[in-house]
Amino acid sequence: MKATWEKLRKPSAILEHSSAQLPLFKRHKCKQDGRDLFIYGTRAHTLPWQEELPPLRFSPESHLRWHPLRQEWVCYAAHRQNRTFKPPLAYCPFCPTRTKDVPTEIPCSDFEVAVFENRFSAFALEAQQTPELSIASAPAIGQCEIVVYSPFHEGSLGSLSLRQVELIVRVWNDRYQDLMARESIQFVMPFENRGEEVGVSLHHPHGQIYAFSYIPPVVAKMREAFREKPVLQELRQTMGREYYIFNDRAVFAFVPPFQRYPYEVWLTTHEFHPGLWTFSQAEIHSLASTLGKVVRLYDRLFNRPCPYIMLLYAAPKGEQKHFQFHIQFLPVLRAADKLKYLAGCETGAGTFLADMLPEETAAQLRRLSHEEL
C-alpha cells in the first residue's frame, strides 16, 4: 500500500471538538504483515522507507474466557509467550531502521513519534474463532498499539522537550478519535509501563494503547461513580491544597487522599473534560508540561529513574457527559531500594496496605517540586 500524508485538522465524526490547532502531520504505511504504521510529526516526514522486520511465521490467535468468581474476562494470547524480551541495543525494534543490516518496526531513518499495531497483540479487530469450552468464552476483539516517543533509545517523558511531549499528547488524542470511531470499540486506554520492576522488556521510551470491545471492570466501577456524582470536581473542592503538587489555570497534579501506591499522583483539569478531544490547545500545552514535571519529580525523589505505571482514563463510549478525563501515576518505589509489592491482602482480597500517609508523601513531593522550580 502506498504511504500517504495527512495534515490533521478535523476530528473524526464520532467525537466533537478538536484541539489540533498547530500543524500535525500523519504518515501511514501498511506493513508487510498488514499492520498499520503511523509516523506523526510537526512537519511532514518524507524520508524513504527502509527495510522492516519480516512478518511473523505464525498467526496470532486470542480469545476471552469468563471468570465466574471475579466476574471479569481473562484474555488468552498464547503467542505472546515468545515475544521480544530485552534485546541488545543494536537489535532494538523501536529504534529507526538506519542500516539495512538491522531492520526494525520503524523502517525509516528518523521520525518524531511512531505508532504501530503491536507485533504480539493480545486483541484483534476481526473476530477469531473461539475454542469450544464448558465455560463462557468470546473473541478477543480490540487493538493493541505501541507509541514510540522518540527515535532516541534513551530518555523519558521527563527528559523529552516540552514540544515533544505535547506532540505525544496530540498523538494520543488522534488515536482516541481513530479507535473510538470503530463500531466494535467501547473503551480506549493509553498507558506506559516504565522500568523492569513493572515488567518492561524493551527500554526504548514508549507507551502502549489498548482498545477494548467491552468496558473493563476497573473502568466500569469508575463509570458508575461518575454517573452518581462529579467525583473529581468534588474532590478538588474538598480535599485541600495540602495534596496539590503542581497547579496552573488548566491542569493540576495531586496526591489522592486515598492513595494506594507510595507517591501516587493524579492529573486532571479544573474544567470538566471527558477526553483529550475536548481540550483546548492551551490545555494540551499545560498537560504536556505537567506530565514532564511529574516524571522529573519522580526521578529526583530517589535520584534514580522511577519505575511506574501511567494510565490515561477517558470516557468510554456513551459516557462523555459524566466521565472525567484524568491520568494516574502508580509508582512502585517506597524507598530508593524498596519496592511496593502486591502480596496476599492486595491480590487476594483487593485491600491495599499502605505504608505511607498521603499527607506526608504530598508534603515531600511538594517540597521537592519547589526545589525543581
Beta carbons within 10 angstroms of residue 18's beta carbon:
19
Of the candidates 30, 31, 32, 8, the one whose C-alpha atom is nearest the C-alpha of residue 19 is 8
Task: Tell me the helices (H) and strands (E) count for the chain, helix number first.
Answer: 6, 17
Task: Specify the CATH number for the domain of residue 288.
Answer: 3.30.428.10
**pLDDT lower than 50: segments of the chain:** 1-5, 9-20, 373
Identify the pLDDT of residue 372.
56
Whether 162 and 212 map to the same domain: the answer is yes
Identify the pLDDT of residue 370.
85
Question: Could you give the 3-state DSSP secondary structure of residue 329?
Answer: strand
Query: How far apart, in whole angstroms, are the C-alpha atoms of residue 5 and residue 38?
Result: 10
Whether 144 and 233 map to the same domain: the answer is no
Q: Which helix (H) or strand (E) holds 267?
A: strand 265-269
Beta strands 251-254 and 244-247 are antiparallel
Q: Letter for the amino acid at 5? A: W
Q: How many domains does the chain have?
A: 2
pLDDT in tens, 249-288: 999 999 999 999 999 999 999 999 999 999 999 999 999 9
Identify the pLDDT of residue 81.
78
Identify the pLDDT of residue 129.
82
Whether 168 and 231 map to the same domain: the answer is no
Whether 232 and 362 map to the same domain: the answer is yes
pLDDT in tens, 276-335: 999 999 999 999 999 999 999 999 999 999 999 999 999 999 999 999 999 999 999 999
By residue range, what is the domain housing residue 252? Answer: 219-372
Query: How far apart, in whole angstroms, are the C-alpha atoms of residue 99 and residue 107?
Result: 10
Whether 66 and 182 map to the same domain: the answer is yes
pLDDT in tens, 32-42: 999 999 999 99
Identify the pLDDT of residue 361.
96
Beta strands 63-67 and 137-139 are antiparallel
Please list the active-site residues. 206
Identify the pLDDT of residue 6.
58
